[in-house]
Structure 1
């Protein structure tokens, strides 16, 4: 199978993530999309990051009814911070029957050359890139291992959602009903 790996903090997972995942699995040659919950992104500070198991619960709840989606906690047991090349190598060793493709937002493309062993990633894996609002142009855009995927421009941010929760405002339609239930019942981000 050809698996798209969608890495993220998913703090929380929102409708934008689900729309991108669905677009990838429905409009490209991907058989499944795995939502890889990252315990710690080396480029992000750890502020207001829910525990990885809580974020995994939200991802599992959000995708429960889509057989083409899977939640992955593969990075929970890898050294931290999590580097994409290490996770890709680990997954390729663990699942040699699958082909893995990295899904990233266009806003990450200009910084991609700062990623650990980015040349190795491009040598061994394809990148499927979805559009992001106000993304800077990148020299990598025309790289033969990079495919630009036509997808909706989504401007929902997890920060915006967390701020609404802190202000005790509704997050309906920004996250799935199951994720909203989890956030409210467990009092996340309060």
Structure 2
């Protein structure tokens, strides 16, 4: 099976993540997309606002209606800083008949050389880069071994970020329709990200 990996903090997961995953699945010919919430992200300046268990549960709720999407808790169980090389090594041991590709946004493609043990990782997994209509990608600075493993797919222009959602919730604004309804209900029930997220 061809598997796409969507990693991230998902703090919280929103419809942009789901649209990105579906775009990659269709255009890259993936059998499934597996969402893997991080425990502690290595390239983030700030710790996630929601706990790992809460972020995992929101992802589970967001993807449960799509039979081609799954959520895995391997990074949450491992704890600490999550490196992609450790995750894909574990996945290849557990699923030896599968091939894996990381799905990454256009804003992260030029960060690939900074990924931990990227040379080894590029031999174990491919990369699917999401091109947005408003972005002209300049990938000439990437090493050739990374350009060779990078497949570009197009996705609709969706101007949503988890940061924006957290700011809206902190300001007492609704995020309904920016997240799935089960995730919206979860955020509201657990009063995540702000004092007033129940309207």
Indicate the residue corresponding to 1:17 in structure 2: 17
User: Over the residues paired in the alignment, what is the CA RMSD in angstroms?
Assistant: 1.7
TM-score by length of 2: 0.89
* Alpha carbons 2:40, 2:79 under 8 Å: kept: no
In structure 2, runs of 5+ residues without a counterpart are 195-199
Measured in 1, the distance between the counterparts of 2:25 and 2:111 equals 25
* Alpha carbons 1:107, 1:135 under 8 Å: kept: no
TM-score by length of 1: 0.93
Q: Which runs of 4+ in 1 moved over 4 A?
A: 132-136
* Alpha carbons 1:38, 1:82 under 8 Å: kept: yes
After superposition, the Cα gap between the structure-2 partners of 1:27 and 1:54, relative to the gap in structure 1 and judged at 3 Å, is same
In structure 1, runs of 5+ residues without a counterpart are none
Correspondence 1:129-168 to 2 at 5 A: 129-132=129-132, 134=135, 137-139=138-140, 140=142, 143-168=147-172
Aligned residues: 190
After superposition, the Cα gap between the structure-2 partners of 1:57 and 1:121, relative to the gap in structure 1 and judged at 3 Å, is same
Indicate the residue corresponding to 2:181 in structure 1: 177
After superposition, the Cα gap between the structure-2 partners of 1:27 and 1:141, relative to the gap in structure 1 and judged at 3 Å, is farther
Measured in 2, the distance between the counterparts of 1:48 and 1:122 equals 27
